[in-house]
Amino acid sequence: MATNWPSWLPLRASLRTLSPYGAPQIPNVLSLNTNENPFELPGEVVDAIMEKLPQVLTRLNRYPDRDATKLRTLLANYINTASGTNFSQVNIWAANGSNEILQTLMLALGERPALGFVPSYSVHPLIAQTTGVEWRAGNRRENFTLDISYAIQEIQRIKPGLTFITTPNNPTGTNLPITDIIDLAKATAEINGVLVVDEAYAEFSDELSAVTLLGTHHNIVVVRTMSKAFAFAGARVGYLVAQPEVIDACLITRLPYHLSSVTQAIAEVALTHSTALMAEVAQLKVERERVCAALIALGYAVAPSAANFLLFSGFKRTSPEIWKELVDAGILIRDVGITGYLRVTIGTPAENERFLAALKALK
Ligand SMILES: Cc1ncc(COP(=O)(O)O)c(C=O)c1O
């Protein structure tokens, strides 16, 4: 990876100090570092995909449905069933992971600065920088909750076009109450801004989804993904729920035929098996509470989490040292760059036991 860019390469000045995003991918270790779902796709979903694929493969000579109409209809149905809403495909946009959704949004709506509250998902500022959007970072409290009056003041002062809220927040797991989202939606509406609620981990939380507010707060855009709850990270499917005008804006900045026929078809199948997949989410929530209690019993402090990961602290040595010792023991968790903290993704019960045993065995 070049650090001193050569003069013949007309790289944009704003990109020269950046490095590619990426958590370490280390072979032959237990990966509890990228908040994936640890369960393989259930056999019934794999079988249904195998049944569907031949029809799709024979038609790979043709471009996919550019607007992914069927997939978007099924995503609308999924959200409606989960949240009691009444959306149709005009309220949904789908892309290759929610990261692409975020990029499409920034390209379309990023004229004014974008505001977020850190620590939060580090890809938000990265996408802002790569799409030429000015990024402004506000803070969270020391316990990672958000001071809403402060957040509103920042919105009034900076007047961002896009304000980002991640709930449950990554990397802290913190939930934002729906009443706070309403206040942020009002504050952003007053400055003609959009509130982007990144709900990548929504299915692991008991809080109401911000999609339930869309009828009354038109400037909310909810970003979701199939990577986590649907155990579909490798398929790359993310989506947003918003007013049709937001989708129209995304149609301008998306690449033509961005979502392959194969991706669309397999996501459609997975959505028709959401009940089986959500049963695994329930299991992961139980495991989250069990691992949290075990960490506390071992003397660690754990940030309250409504997601499929835990941020914990209270190490006898520095967090990078502990991270390295765990890697040496075959367990990969995440150093998210918050001094004194590490983040662990909830795995299967057996994987969580391996993680806890490795932690107990630390020197
Ligand atoms: C808060 C948040 N948003 C978005 C994403 C991106 O997910 P994907 O691009 O796999 O949909 C992640 C992934 O970890 C995340 O933590």
Probe target for ligand 1 pocket from 103, 123, 258, with the most ligand atoms within 8 Å of CB: 123
Contact present, 309 and 346 (Cβ < 8 Å) = yes
Average pLDDT over residues 109-128: 97
Average pLDDT over residues 37-52: 96
Average pLDDT over residues 292-296: 98
Complete DSSP assignment for 190-239: HTT-EEEEE-TTGGG--SPPGGGGTTT-TTEEEEEESSSTTS-GGG--EE
Count Cα atoms within 13 angstroms, Cβ side, for 278. 12
Check residue 23 and give its pLDDT: 78
Ligand 1: atom nearest CA of 227 is: 10
Structure tokens belonging to residue 79: 């959200």
Query: What residues form DSSP beta bridges with 241?
Result: 92, 222
Q: Which among 218, 214, 215, 234 is positioned nearest to 226, based on CA atoms?
A: 234
Q: Whose CA is nearest to atom 3 of ligand 1?
A: 200
Check residue 244 and give its pLDDT: 98
Structure tokens belonging to residue 21: 């995003």
Average pLDDT over residues 324-340: 96
Average pLDDT over residues 322-340: 96
Check residue 269 and give its pLDDT: 97
165-213 pLDDT, tens digit each: 999 999 999 999 999 999 999 999 999 999 999 999 999 999 999 999 9
Probe target for ligand 1 pocket from 127, 203, 227, with the most ligand atoms within 8 Å of CB: 227
201-258 pLDDT, tens digit each: 999 999 999 999 999 999 999 999 999 999 999 999 999 999 999 999 999 999 999 9
Integer Cα distance of 312 and 336 in angstroms: 11
The set of protein residues with a Cβ atom below 6 angstroms from ligand 1 is 35, 97-99, 121, 166, 170, 198, 200, 225, 227, 233, 238
Query: Quick one: pLDDT band at residue 2, thresholds 50, 70, 90?
Result: low
Q: What CATH code is assigned to 43-272? A: 3.40.640.10
Ligand 1: atom nearest CA of 120 is: 1
Check residue 248 and give its pLDDT: 97
Taking the centre of ligand 1 as the mean of its atom positions, its distance from the CA of residue 197, in whole angstroms, is 12
Ligand 1: atom nearest CA of 35 is: 14
Check residue 3 and give its pLDDT: 67
Integer Cα distance of 163 and 194 in angstroms: 6
Question: In this model, does residue 308 exceed pLDDT 80?
Answer: yes
Probe target for ligand 1 pocket from 37, 225, 237, 345, with the most ligand atoms within 8 Å of CB: 225
Taking the centre of ligand 1 as the mean of its atom positions, its distance from the CA of residue 128, in whole angstroms, is 15
Q: Quick one: 23-41+275-360 is in which CATH superfamily?
A: Aspartate Aminotransferase, domain 1 (3.90.1150.10)
- Domains of the chain, by residue range, sit at 23-41+275-360, 43-272
Query: Quick one: pLDDT band at residue 4, thresholds 50, 70, 90?
Result: confident
Q: Do 23-41+275-360 and 43-272 fold alike per CATH? A: no
Question: In this model, does residue 141 exceed pLDDT 90?
Answer: yes
Rounded percentage of the chain residues whose pLDDT exceeds 90: 94
